[in-house]
Amino acid sequence: MKSEMDRREFIKASVMAGAVAAFGLFSPAAGFGKGGKEMMTIKAKPVTSGVAEGEALVSRMPISFTGGMDPSTGVIREPGHDLEGQSVAGKILVFPNGKGSTTGCWQYYAAYKRGVAPVGIINVMAEGVVVVGAIIAHTPMVQQMERNPLECIKTGDHVKIDADKGLVFVTPAS
């Protein structure tokens, strides 16, 4: 009887571990990220190709690269924006979608040429102007993650985008 109970507990634990991995939660396959912290692996739809990693900068508001970001500094300058005054330079920029003028892709490219653009982009739903900017600036970009990036990624987390494989790796900052 004792061995039957042990067998049931083993099966139950195995099923739970499989479910956790299947839903992109703390995946046992992903292991540990920076600083030995547990890392989430989340599937996403690639928009562009490439791999980028860095510190996340998360906004719950759409971003316009025309007028909303200074292409000389990479600082968000849109009054009232939740990232107003913060630099996107070298960050993994996480935001719902782009907005604004079709010249935004060129403003993004200008920031890229000056070295003040994000190194990667995660959108809830990609929008054409941001996509074109990411393409011409060779910025890895993904969208439509299995989990809402605005809920599972926080500013300061370490994020790696592997757009070639359609994966995002998130190591919480704290």
CATH code for 31-171?
Answer: 3.50.30.10
Burial class (CB in 10 A: 0-12, 13-18, 19+), 84: middle
> Does the pLDDT of residue 28 top 70, yes or no?
no
pLDDT digits (tens, 9 = 90+) for 100-134: 889 999 999 999 999 999 999 999 999 999 999 99
Q: Can you state the angle between helices 104-113 and 128-136, rounded to 10 degrees? A: 30
Q: Does 101 qualify as catalytic in the annotation?
A: yes
Q: How far apart are CA 27 and CA 20, in angstroms?
A: 7
Q: pTM for this one?
A: 0.80
Out of 3, 49, 64, 101, the active site residue is 101
Q: How far apart are CA 97 and CA 109, in angstroms?
A: 17
pLDDT digits (tens, 9 = 90+) for 47-81: 999 999 999 999 999 999 999 999 999 999 999 99
The structural domains of the chain, with segments of one domain joined by +, span 1-29, 31-171
Q: Tell me which H or E stretch contains 133.
A: helix 128-136
Is 34 in contact with 145 (CB distance < 8 Å)? no
> Does the pLDDT of residue 34 top 70, yes or no?
no
Q: So what's the pLDDT on residue 174?
A: 78
